[in-house]
């Protein structure tokens, strides 16, 4: 793009922006506009353009470093000056001219001085972008011109039909046909004379290849918009239909068809099916907070959730992967907090570090650690140890974790908060309080290997030592011994499929419905290596043979076939993980990089357990150990993390604790159980030591005891709370009743094993 510097001679004030107005009277194909400086707080009515700077139809991988292949620049006239803009922007401006839209328009490429030697204005204007898109009367979403070669008109017609369908009707629309006659007739009505059913869907797949769906900046632009107008050439699309169809395609069997070169008949880039749905998810979060006046912690989560959703989108500059979300952060952060500025003079590592530090300091959780993987870009690796390991590399687009933004269905750390502390003045070393609940003893296949059934011996070996009946509740288990009463045990097959599905069923139900068990067995039976897994799960060969024969008969059921498809789709949404077994015989699913000997920790403030590995060659510092956090990453190596161990002060003793009779007292939706102890004064110190045991039934799952130990020793405050992983525990409570204080304390001194948990997910 080439714009005369004379257009930017006048400097902008703190709340000022440039706007352009396109002259619509000209009919000779020229685009003529006038630029003015306006005050954003003056209440003027204007529109804002959301588009992509480069070719609207051809995807470019910016991380490849290859030069972008773009169309020739096009000429426009602004304030009498000749400007050269991208072909896609010219087409958008021409569309505005032909639509006779007389309103002022804000367009980043023209309204911000793009001189690389002058970053001051750019930094200031990027800080205002959230307000710009939120203040605009409407946001014009320009997807690019119609594409006759790829039948974009047919794609838009199909999208409109699908958007008008009810969710139950969409379920009848499958790659091999439509079972609902009324829906089938609606879809058939949009076929052109020379198109068939398959060609119609190929057109829709290629529609989602448009580069607008890949651009990270559009997230902020659309989320903050009051009203949205979507243009594909002269065609207008409802945003609601676009986001609903996007989500439906991304979570059904169409997801696999749309990335299959044989189906698409070409080797082009994968369509970005879920882009509009991800944007819609953050839209819903903002709406929910506004309507329900939710707490601050959820507002803080909104910024992190937006960063997570933006991960799969593209930016020409890697720093923009976080800067593009700052407008969201500024709108949901507490007023007394100084939100970081988008400073282009900072390195990539500095930009990502200031972002991660802001999330940690102002949120009430440590969910960001689940995304602190060590698969890092070359640019971030070049900065070395200057970039802390707990800082996510948002430029890496690989999917990590469970594919569930926010993990709000899980409560591994229960309601405990973590006070964020840094161990160094530069705030690069993060200090955490954790408790260990297990050690990885064996690892199996990755979920991708399970889906492809490529040599499943590792998973079979992992399952063979386990008993047929898997304990799901009751007593704390020793690391080397399984426990649980007969009534509390679960079939190993069920325990296995719930683990690899994260106990999440169709429609994101948690816990998953037991009906998925038949779908899992039949799904595995169809796999070439399924017999190996069945042989490990069903120990009796006679029983295994009978079950396999039984499953073959079931495959004749159309209902079951549909369930198998849905099971496979749900399974494939989260494949960058590996099955593991702890030394205590517990099943889990964690990072692909997990190794035997890694430790499983419950971390207050984290909704899921974290898997940690001690870093070689690092000396312990007091009670602090430097470990490696793999969290939910899919890396080949692991970042380091500063952690604390729990240790009671030696001068804490039972005799200084006074018993309280509080059984039956109402507490957090349940009643207190067991023994409770009040604090006794420390001799001559005026401070307190306290030990308190509380049981709090969780009404949602009718389970979970809560063990809370608080020790105040002059200067140190340690809080530990153990609860079951309610997201995987289907029946019964953990039993902590009638523990004496010395027994509780001995758990921390290592005289008894710490409590362990069932179906660990990391």
Q: What is the pLDDT of residues 479-528, one digit of tens each?
A: 333 444 444 567 888 888 888 888 777 666 777 777 788 888 888 888 87
On the question of pLDDT at 15 being above 80, the answer is yes
Average pLDDT over residues 551-575: 66
Q: Are residues 196 and 123 part of one domain? A: no
Could you check whether the bond before residue 112 is cis, i.e. omega within 30 degrees of 0? Answer: no
Using 50, 70 and 90 to split pLDDT, how confident is the model at 641? very low
- Residue of higher predicted confidence among 683 and 303: 303
Are residues 133 and 15 located together in one domain of the fold?
yes
488 lies in some domain: no
Give the confidence band of 116 by pLDDT, cuts at 50, 70, 90: confident
User: Is 24 a domain residue?
Assistant: yes
Q: Which domain holds residue 325?
A: 279-397
Q: Same structural domain for residues 698 and 683?
A: yes
Instruction: Judge if 109 and 172 occupy the same domain.
Output: no
Residue 354, pLDDT above cutoff 90 = yes
Helix (H) or strand (E) holding 587: strand 587-591
- Does residue 728 sit in the same domain as residue 693? yes
Higher per-residue pLDDT: 269 or 460: 460
Lowest mean pLDDT across 275-279, 459-463, 683-687: 683-687
Domain for residue 37, yes or no? yes
671, pLDDT greater than 60: no
Q: How far apart are CA 48 and CA 134, in angstroms?
A: 9
Q: Are 70 and 62 in contact (CB under 8 A)?
A: no
| pLDDT surpasses 60 at 626 | no
Cβ count within 10 A of residue 666: 8
582 has pLDDT over 80: yes
Distance CA 80, CA 77 (A): 6
- Residue 247, in any domain of the structure: yes
Residue 135 tokens read as 């203040």
- Mean pLDDT over 404-412 rounds to 63
Answer yes or no: is 494 within a domain: no
Q: What is the pLDDT of residue 81?
A: 94
The residue from 110, 126, 142 where one domain ends is 142
How many residues are present in the chain? 762
Domain count, the chain: 4
In a domain, 636, yes or no: no
The Cα 128–Cα 115 span in angstroms is 18
The rounded distance, in Å, linking the Cα atoms of 257 and 276 is 19
Final residue of a structural domain among 142, 166, 200? 142
End position of a domain, from candidates 375, 397, 419? 397
Percent of the chain with pLDDT over 70: 67
> Is residue 600 assigned to a domain?
no
Residues 70, 160, single domain; the answer is no
What is the bridge-based pairing of β-strands 587-591 and 421-422? Answer: unpaired
Token representation of residue 297: 């912690």
Q: Are residues 742 and 661 in the same domain?
A: yes
Tell me, yes or no, whether 69 and 153 share the same domain.
no
Q: Are residues 96 and 169 in the same domain?
A: no
The phi, psi pair for 106, rounded to 5°, reads -100, 125
One domain, residues 251 and 348? no
On whether residue 507 sits in a domain, the answer given is no
| Residue 223: how many other CB atoms lie within 10 Å | 26
Same domain, 127 and 199: no
Which of 362, 398, 377, 278 is closest to 319 using CA atoms? Answer: 377
Are 127 and 203 contained in the same domain? no
């Amino acid at each position: 793009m080439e714009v005369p510097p004379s257009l930017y001679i006048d400097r902008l004030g703190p709340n000022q922006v440039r706007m352009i107005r396109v002259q619509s009277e000209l009919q000779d194909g020229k685009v003529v506009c006038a630029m003015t400086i306006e005050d954003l707080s003056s209440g003027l009515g204007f529109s804002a353009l959301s588009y992509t700077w480069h070719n609207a139809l051809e995807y470019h991988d910016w991380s490849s470093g290859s030069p972008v292949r773009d169309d020739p620049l096009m000429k426009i006239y602004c304030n009498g000056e000749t400007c050269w803009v991208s072909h896609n922007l010219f087409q958008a401006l021409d569309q505005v001219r032909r639509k006779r839209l007389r309103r002022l328009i804000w367009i980043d490429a023209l309204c911000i001085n793009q001189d690389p030697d002058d970053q001051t204005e750019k930094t200031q204007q990027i800080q205002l972008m959230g307000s710009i898109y939120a203040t605009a009367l409407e946001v014009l979403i320009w997807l690019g011109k119609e594409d006759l070669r790829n039948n974009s008109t047919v794609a838009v017609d199909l999208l409109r039909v699908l958007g008008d369908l009810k969710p139950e009707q969409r379920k009848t629309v499958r790659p091999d046909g439509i079972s609902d006659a009324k829906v089938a007739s609606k879809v058939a009505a949009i076929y052109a004379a020379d198109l068939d059913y398959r060609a119609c869907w190929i057109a829709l797949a290629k529609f989602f290849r448009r580069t607008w769906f890949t651009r990270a900046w559009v997230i902020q632009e659309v989320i903050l918009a009051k009203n949205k107008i979507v243009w594909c050439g002269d065609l207008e699309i409802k945003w609601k239909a676009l986001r609903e169809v996007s989500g439906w395609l991304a979570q059904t069997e169409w997801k696999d068809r749309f990335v299959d070169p044989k189906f698409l008949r070409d080797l082009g880039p994968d369509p970005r099916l879920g882009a509009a749905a991800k944007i819609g998810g953050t839209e819903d979060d903002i709406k929910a907070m506004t309507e329900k006046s939710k707490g601050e912690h959820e507002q803080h989560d909104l910024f992190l959730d937006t960063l997570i959703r933006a991960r799969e989108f593209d930016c020409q500059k890697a720093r923009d992967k976080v800067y593009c979300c700052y407008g969201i952060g500024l709108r949901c952060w507490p007023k007394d907090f100084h939100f970081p500025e988008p400073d282009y003079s900072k390195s990539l590592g500095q930009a990502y570090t200031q972002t991660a530090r802001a999330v940690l300091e102002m949120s009430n959780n440590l969910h960001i650690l689940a995304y602190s993987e060590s698969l890092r870009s070359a640019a971030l690796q070049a900065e070395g140890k200057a970039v802390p390991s707990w800082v996510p590399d948002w430029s890496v687009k690989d999917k990590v974790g469970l594919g569930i933004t926010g993990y709000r269905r899980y409560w591994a750390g229960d309601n405990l908060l973590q006070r964020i502390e840094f161990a160094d003045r530069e705030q690069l070393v993060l200090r955490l309080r954790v408790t260990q609940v297990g050690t990885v003893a064996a690892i199996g296949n990755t979920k991708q290997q399970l889906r492809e059934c490529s040599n499943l011996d590792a998973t079979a070996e992992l399952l063979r030592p386990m008993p047929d009946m898997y304990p799901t509740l009751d007593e704390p288990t020793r690391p080397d011994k399984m426990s649980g009463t007969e009534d509390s045990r679960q079939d190993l097959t069920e325990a296995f499929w719930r683990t690899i599905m994260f106990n999440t069923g169709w429609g994101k139900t948690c816990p998953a419905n037991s009906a998925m068990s038949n779908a899992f067995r039949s799904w595995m039976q169809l796999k070439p290596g399924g017999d190996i897994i069945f042989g490990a799960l069903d120990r009796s060969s006679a029983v295994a043979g009978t079950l396999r024969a039984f499953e073959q008969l079931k495959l004749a059921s159309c209902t079951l076939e549909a369930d198998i498809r849905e099971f496979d789709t749900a399974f494939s949404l989260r494949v960058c993980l590996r099955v593991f077994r702890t030394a205590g015989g517990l099943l889990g699913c964690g990072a692909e990089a997990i190794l035997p000997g890694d430790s499983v920790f419950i971390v207050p403030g984290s909704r899921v357990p974290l898997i940690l590995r001690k870093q070689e060659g690092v000396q312990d510092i007091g009670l602090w150990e430097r470990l490696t956090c793999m969290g939910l990453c899919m890396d080949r190596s692991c970042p380091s993390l500063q952690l604390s161990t729990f240790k009671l002060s030696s001068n804490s003793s039972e005799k200084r604790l006074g018993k309280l009779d509080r059984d039956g007292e109402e507490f957090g939706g349940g009643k207190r159980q067991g023994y409770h102890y009040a604090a006794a004064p420390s001799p001559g110190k005026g401070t307190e030591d306290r030990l308190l045991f509380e049981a709090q039934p969780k009404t949602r799952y009718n389970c979970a005891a809560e063990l809370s130990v608080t020790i105040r020793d002059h200067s140190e405050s340690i809080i530990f709370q153990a609860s079951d992983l309610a997201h995987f525990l289907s029946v019964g409570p953990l039993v902590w009743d009638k523990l004496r204080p010395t027994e509780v304390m001995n758990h921390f001194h290592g005289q008894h094993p710490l409590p362990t948990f069932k179906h660990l997910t990391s």
